[in-house]
Amino acid sequence: MTPLLEAHGIEKSYGHVEALRGADFSLSAGEVVALIGDNGAGKSTLVKILSGVEAPDAGRILVDGNPVRFESVEQARRSGIETVHQDLALCADLTPAANFFLGREVLRSGLLGRLGFLDNAAMRARARQECERLGVRLKSDSVAVSTLSGGQRQGVAVARAVTWARRVVFMDEPTAALGVVQTGRVLDLIRTVRDSGVAVVLITHNMQDVKAVADRIEVLRLGRRAARFSGADVSMEELVGAMTGALEADLAPPDAAGADAASEKTSEPGSADGEQKR
């Protein structure tokens, strides 16, 4: 099966700083992949490239096996890719429905629509429907999001992304500022999104969250993929070892698309797998 989203040999530099040095990534439909790594590993840069925020200096991106180049966020969105940023990117003074349709406002029919009048009732109904479908419980859909709890605001951001995403949702540290109960609800929401057929990429430093929801785990270190693991079989020690370099190489299990043989090794730059150290 062809992976939904692939990246091969992605490179990105900022002046003399090499943020990505030939990074690889793959994702299949209906799975949760955790993208982990220490600070400076290149996670945020890779996500920005895959979501259209920045363009790579080199490398290939494929969607459904077809080469693409995202020059903007809008181009990535047209390919069904949405992102839930760590700061949520919500307008605090607007209602959940207004945030759902920010930049995608629905106009009323007829003359009023041609004059620019919004169909607020239709937008509220659609936002309420999507929240109910995903199990996002709000105390009210007519109040500003600033009055909602942290978990509810996170739910609004995720539901908004899933509403417009057809293929992939990137979630950047979705539980970083949440308590135990709210974290559990967000993890349940991630499972619901996965079960709907939309792939989820979870970027996090919380290894407990990774173990709880990830089907696969991809580790970045020094701008390259250091290891891949099955979420069900990996230990915390292996994850930490791959992130820090204590685990120099590990057998990379085949991804969900079956693109790699089980005996393939994923190594650090300059290791014996034949990749040249930069």
Q: To 5 degrees, how large is the angle CA 171–CA 175–CA 181?
A: 135
Q: Are strands 32-36 and 199-203 parallel, antiparallel or unpaired?
A: parallel
Per-residue pLDDT reduced to its tens digit, 91-136: 999 999 999 999 899 999 999 889 999 999 999 999 999 888 888 8
For the full predicted model, state whether its pTM sits above 0.85.
no
CB contact at 8 A, 21 and 278:
yes
Per-residue pLDDT reduced to its tens digit, 18-64: 999 999 999 999 999 999 999 889 999 999 999 999 999 999 999 99
The CATH number of the structural domain formed by 1-80+165-278 is: 3.40.50.300
Per-residue pLDDT reduced to its tens digit, 166-176: 899 999 888 88
Helices (H), 64-136: 73-78, 96-100, 110-114, 120-134
Residue ranges per structural domain of the chain: 1-80+165-278, 95-164
Q: What is the mean pLDDT of residues 213-222?
A: 95
Helices (H), 225-272: 236-244
CB burial of 147-168 (b: ≥16 within 10 Å; e: otherwise) equals ebebbbbbbbbbbbbbbebebb
